[in-house]
Amino acid sequence: MANTIFPCLWFDNNAKEAAEFYSIVFGNSKIIVDTSMVVIFEIEGFKIMGLNGGPMFQKNPGISLFVNCQSGEETETVYNKLIEGGMAMMPLNKYPWSEKYGWVKDKFGMSWQIMLGQLTAGAQKITPCFLFTGEQYGKAEKAMGEWTTIFPNSSINTIERYKEGEPQAEGKLKFGHFSLNGYNLTAMDGIGDHQFAFNEGISFVVECDTQEEIDHYWYSLSKNGQESRCGWLKDAAGVSWQIVPKIIGSLMSDPVKAPKVMEAVMKMNKLDIETMVNAAK
């Protein structure tokens, strides 16, 4: 299973504006797909889908994007650009874990953690980070374990737990780094009166080659979770996933076939490749 995983950010019909803004903030950026519904772009080689879904769902700090900067100047530049029209969640400063670190919510509602650090050759510069709070507090390490059993070629690379006398309960996850089929992610437990939880505002797309793969991820991730429409589901932790065939892009790019394919997709929960292909004929 050589699956592609990438985040999908829900926008109130301004995904193109956001993609252009992020392309200014970061180098090595480009817009790959630009339609009325979806904008797909890359920043520093990191793929993101922007969905023009309207005001229904709002992004929140339950999932943020962690940016590893290579110099103090770069850290300050990225932070200062992202905070324009946004707000500081943790101001850029020196912290025990970094000489320069800041957590900012940008003007589109997306949260970013910007840190001065070391980046090895070939490593992801931008990494999604899950913050387990509220009802999910204390469940970060369990979720990492479950995800790495569902995805092939996956591993938990770093586990750092809180110790006695530290701000959170002993044993809770201070920081965890893991990979799903080569895609790097991080997770943390976060105590406090946070008024947010995982929702559809930020989801993760899993592109599959075969129906067998779609079935595997659908049933594995939705177990103890919740099925939704059009390939969307929530897992046991409340994280939203979109399980889609890789051919969906080519099927939806044809202006004649796309409406027929979309009509078929709207009738399904778990997507069926054969049904979608037949609808395009």
Residue ranges per structural domain of the chain: 209-280
Q: For residue 11, is pLDDT > 70? A: yes
Q: Is the pLDDT of residue 37 over 60?
A: yes
Q: How confident is the model at residue 278 (pLDDT cuts 50, 70, 90)?
A: very high
Q: Supply the pLDDT for residue 255.
A: 83
SS3 letters for the chain?
Answer: CCCEEEEEEEECCCHHHHHHHHHHHCCCEEEEEECCCEEEEEECCEEEEEEECCCCCCCCCCEEEEEEECCHHHHHHHHHHHCCCCEEEEEEEEECCEEEEEEEECCCCCEEEEEECCCCCCCCCEEEEEEECHHHCCCHHHHHHHHHHHCCCCEEEEEEECCCCCCCCCCCEEEEEEEECCEEEEEEECCCCCCCCCCCCEEEEEEECCHHHHHHHHHHHHCCCEECCCCEEECCCCCEEEEEECCHHHHHHCCCCHHHHHHHHHCCCCCCHHHHHHHHC
pLDDT value at residue 120: 59
Flag whether pLDDT at 238 surpasses 70.
Answer: yes
pTM of the model: 0.95
Q: What is the mean pLDDT of residues 212-223?
A: 97
- Interval 180-197: pLDDT, tens: 999 999 999 997 777 789
In this prediction, residue 77 carries a pLDDT of: 97
For the 209-280 domain, the top CATH level (class) is alpha beta
Averaged pLDDT for residues 104-116: 97
* pLDDT of the residue at 1: 43
Residue 3: per-residue pLDDT: 57
pLDDT in tens, 244-266: 999 998 888 888 888 899 999 99
Taking residues 196-223, what's their average pLDDT?
Answer: 96
Residue range 137-186, pLDDT digits in tens: 999 999 999 999 999 999 999 999 999 988 888 899 999 999 999 999 99
Question: Residue 34: what pLDDT?
Answer: 92
